[in-house]
Amino acid sequence: MRYQVLTTLILSFAVHVRGQVPTTFRSNAEERSSFPKSNSINDVLLANDTIWIGSGRGLSQSADGGRGWKNFANVPPFESRGISALAKRGNTMWVASAYAERRDGDAIQIGAGLHFSTDGGTTWSFVQQPVDTGTVDTLTYGRNRIAALAITVPENNVTFDIALTSNTVWIASFAGMLRKSTNNGRTWDRVILPPDGPLQFIAPTDSLNFDLSPSSGRLGLRENLNHRVFSVIAPDDSTIWVGTAGGINKSTDGGISWRKFNHQNQLQPISGNFVVALAEQSWKDKRILWAATINAVDGNERRGVSFTEDGGSTWKTTLIGEFPHNFAFRDSIVYVAADGGLYRSSDFGRSWSRSGTVVDPLTLQRFGNPKFYAVGVRGDTVWVGTNEGLAYTIDSPTQPFATRWTIFRTYEPVGTTAQTYSYPLPFSPDEEVVRIHYGTQGKTLPVTIRIFDFGMQPVRTLIQSALRSGTHEHDEIWNGMDDRGRRVANGVYFYRIEYDGAERWGKIMVLQ
């Protein structure tokens, strides 16, 4: 087998999406606030002194270290759509949006299109999620004619990652496969990747016989997990890395020919074929490709982190058993956002330290779940995104990694009133914690919070005579356990807040 680099060969290897008429508009609408719109942070992107985050309720930007935010909630469809991917190169920025609908009891993910800006995020244009017409297309790939499934709807056609080269945007879109556009989304080309099975290399000069199809049982096409695309990066204009449900693919000629790496086709392989994130670390003479490699269909695969220092010829694995989501780098240091916390290695993956409980000592805000979904680094500051909010920590010789945190959480303020509320309502202790939100009406006071069942029997003393500042509103976390460490049953519970000689009551609903 061979891998042929075709840097000077100009061949037609995909066809334009037919019938695509993007709805395009420009807008600079935004909403300014003290917080992002959502506590569910999917992506963090740092550019110079600006922080961009993609959340469950749209795109947000801060240029002052998180003290103030621009929320692009008034730019349709940002206002009600989550952000599934961010990418920036120079003044060009692309943002993918998505949402979910409940149909017949199942949650269906739906691609909601892409926004792009060519002036650093001041003004934006929108294009619809790329779709095809017809049923089966025939794509020209050098000497080959490849049958390709037409993706005609946005359902399951969600863009999970974006990469930018000098004149091309690349999108990884699960059911929509890998696509590229050279004209700001007016038309999109489907990019042909190797199929499943033993074929490791493809080039337009080869004689090939396979289908471009991420699903089976439709129109006689052969399914390929390697065409279900989740991640893409472009370290330079020639090198493209693509992660799929069937492994990692690499092109060194701008996306024309490809080599496939998976758990089955190398002696030192990746840990698993489901590749949810890719990132390249560049330090001195090293270029290390890091991948979040999760077990797919082979029982011998394992979740963990895989990385290569030789362009994919051999792989090393680490953090086996962990579910990683994202990477960030500062010189020789690598950070991994994962289900088990935020990991840090200063020796290229040979050893790791892990963040502990995330608590803001100023506001006493705390994350109850160890999962980190996004990470970004600027200087000594490490930013993280979780489903409970945004936070940063300093990693420096004078302030060791993850010893002190600043947390940013959005909430509905109660101000100087005696109001209180809990959220989420209902809550499932197996998946989350419930927060009891209140203020002390501008006074610094000792506070006690007790939880009772529906029969008003005491269940848990959450805090007792704990001093709380009057300069901040507070969230106290309950994990659904009673005072003896037992999980409580489903039902309605009441909490009582005692301070300043008065009582305030609220309700909690537990639903597993």
Q: Answer yes or no: is pLDDT of 102 > 90.
A: no
Q: Answer yes or no: is pLDDT of 477 > 50.
A: yes
Question: Quick one: pLDDT at residue 217?
Answer: 62
Q: Answer yes or no: is pLDDT of 9 > 70.
A: no
Q: Answer yes or no: is pLDDT of 250 > 90.
A: yes
Question: Quick one: pLDDT at residue 77?
Answer: 58
Specify whether the CB–CB gap between 495 and 506 falls below 8 A: yes
Specify whether the CB–CB gap between 370 and 364 falls below 8 A: no
Confidence of residue 105 (pLDDT cuts 50, 70, 90): confident
Tell me, yes or no, if the two domains 1-22+128-321 and 421-510 fold the same way: no
Q: What CATH number has the domain spanning 1-22+128-321? A: 2.120.10
Specify whether the CB–CB gap between 130 and 17 falls below 8 A: yes
Question: Quick one: pLDDT at residue 33?
Answer: 82
Dihedral sign for Cα 71, 77, 83, 85, please.
negative
Confidence of residue 122 (pLDDT cuts 50, 70, 90): confident
Question: Quick one: pLDDT at residue 3?
Answer: 26
Q: What is the dihedral of CA 158, 410, 431, 506, to 10 degrees?
A: -140
Specify whether the CB–CB gap between 434 and 480 falls below 8 A: yes
Burial (Cβ within 10 Å: 0-12, 13-18, ≥19) of residue 41: buried
Q: What is the pLDDT of residues 191-221, one digit of tens each?
A: 999 999 999 999 999 999 999 999 876 678 9
Question: Quick one: pLDDT at residue 385?
Answer: 97
Q: Answer yes or no: is pLDDT of 106 > 80.
A: yes
Q: What is the pLDDT of residues 260-306, one digit of tens each?
A: 999 999 999 999 999 999 999 999 989 999 999 999 999 999 999 99
Specify whether the CB–CB gap between 512 and 448 falls below 8 A: no
Mean of all residue pLDDT scores within the chain: 91
Q: Answer yes or no: is pLDDT of 20 > 50.
A: no
Mean pLDDT for the stretch of residues 68-92: 84
Confidence of residue 245 (pLDDT cuts 50, 70, 90): very high
The DSSP secondary structure of 349-370, one letter per residue, reads TSS-EE----B-TTT--B----
Question: Quick one: pLDDT at residue 34?
Answer: 82
What is this structure's pTM? 0.89
Question: Quick one: pLDDT at residue 464?
Answer: 96
Q: Answer yes or no: is pLDDT of 11 > 50.
A: no
Burial (Cβ within 10 Å: 0-12, 13-18, ≥19) of residue 176: buried
Question: Quick one: pLDDT at residue 12?
Answer: 30
Q: Looking at 19-23, 347-351, 471-475, which range is the least confident one? A: 19-23
Second-level CATH architecture of 421-510: Sandwich (2.60)
Question: Quick one: pLDDT at residue 74?
Answer: 63
Q: What is the pLDDT of residues 137-196, one digit of tens each?
A: 999 999 999 999 999 999 999 999 999 999 999 999 999 999 999 999 999 999 999 999
Domain residue ranges in the chain: 1-22+128-321, 28-106, 335-410, 421-510
Confidence of residue 73 (pLDDT cuts 50, 70, 90): low
Q: Answer yes or no: is pLDDT of 129 > 90.
A: yes
Q: Answer yes or no: is pLDDT of 4 > 50.
A: no
Q: What is the pLDDT of residues 305-352, one digit of tens each?
A: 999 999 999 999 999 999 999 999 999 999 999 999 999 999 999 999
Range with top average pLDDT, 17-26, 103-112, 392-401: 392-401
What is d(CA 354, CA 380) in angstroms, rounded to the nearest whole number? 17
Residues 6+ apart with CB under 8 A from 397: none
Q: What is the pLDDT of residues 380-426, one digit of tens each?
A: 999 999 999 999 999 999 999 999 999 999 988 898 888 999 998 89
Closest CA to 510 of 474, 478, 470: 478
3 state SS of 78? helix
Burial (Cβ within 10 Å: 0-12, 13-18, ≥19) of residue 354: middle
Specify whether the CB–CB gap between 307 and 284 falls below 8 A: no
